[in-house]
Amino acid sequence: MTISMTGYGRGEYLDERYHFTVEAKSVNNRYLDIQVKMPRKIAYLEEYIKQSLKKYATRGKVDIFVKLELGSESDTRVSFDRELVKNYYEVLAGIEEVTGASSQVRAVDLAKFQDVIRLEEKEIDQSEIKRCLDNAMDMAFTSFRDMRRSEGEKLKEDILERCQLLEVYFEKIEKLSENIESEYQQKLMTRLSDMLKNMGQNIDDQRIVQEAAILADKANVTEEIVRFRSHIIQLKETVEGEDSVGRKMDFILQEMNREVNTIGSKSSKIEITNVVVDLKCELEKIREQIQNIE
* pLDDT digit string, tens, across residues 274-291: 999 999 999 999 999 999
Q: Examine the pLDDT at 199 and tell me if it is beyond 60.
A: yes
Phi-psi region of 60 (alpha: psi -120 to 50; beta: other; left: phi over 0): left
Give the residue-averaged pLDDT of 75-101: 80
Tally of structural domains, the chain? 3
Q: What 3-state class would DSSP assign to 200?
A: coil
Q: What is the CA radius of gyration of the chain?
A: 38
Give the residue-averaged pLDDT of 245-255: 90
Residues 252/228, Cβ–Cβ less than 8 Å: no
CB count, 10 Å around CB of 26?
Answer: 27
Q: Let me know whether 83 and 200 are in one domain.
A: no
Q: Residue length, the chain?
A: 294
In angstroms, what CA-CA distances link 292 with 35, 79, 249, 253, 289?
A: 19, 56, 11, 14, 6
Q: What is the pLDDT of residue 89?
A: 82
Give the residue-averaged pLDDT of 123-146: 92
Domain interval for residue 136: 7-73+130-148
Q: Give the separation between CA 56 and CA 145, rounded to whole angstroms.
A: 6
CB count, 10 Å around CB of 169?
Answer: 17
Q: Let me know whether 143 and 245 are in one domain.
A: no
Give me the percent of the chain exceeding a pLDDT of 90.
52
Q: Let me know whether 22 and 138 are in one domain.
A: yes
- The verdict on residue 20 lying in a domain is yes
66-96: burial string, b at 16+ Cβ within 10 Å, e else: bebeeeeeeeeeeeeeeeebeebeeeeeeee
Half-sphere exposure for 113 (CA within 13 Å, toward CB): 18
Q: Give the separation between CA 126 and CA 55, rounded to whole angstroms.
A: 22
Which of 93-97, 101-105, 251-255 has the lowest average pLDDT? 101-105
- The verdict on residue 232 lying in a domain is yes
pTM of the model: 0.70
Q: What is the pLDDT of residue 126?
A: 87
In angstroms, what CA-CA distances link 246 with 30, 146, 156?
A: 10, 18, 11
Q: Beta strand 32-37 with 60-70: parallel, antiparallel or unpaired? A: parallel
- The verdict on residue 1 lying in a domain is no
Higher pLDDT, 7 or 108: 7
Q: Let me know whether 221 and 268 are in one domain.
A: yes
Residues 294/59, Cβ–Cβ less than 8 Å: yes
- The verdict on residue 2 lying in a domain is no
Q: Give the separation between CA 162 and CA 149, rounded to whole angstroms.
A: 20
Residues 6+ apart with CB under 8 A from 192: 203, 208
What residue type is 208 in one-letter code? I
Q: Let me know whether 81 and 29 are in one domain.
A: no
Q: What is the pLDDT of residue 114?
A: 83
Q: Let me know whether 187 and 105 are in one domain.
A: no
In angstroms, what CA-CA distances link 80 with 76, 121, 124, 269?
A: 13, 14, 21, 93
Residues 259/226, Cβ–Cβ less than 8 Å: no
Q: What is the pLDDT of residue 155?
A: 94
Which of 94-98, 181-185, 217-221, 248-252 has the lowest average pLDDT? 181-185
Q: Examine the pLDDT at 72 and tell me if it is beyond 60.
A: no
Distance of CA 146 to the CA centre of its chain: 15
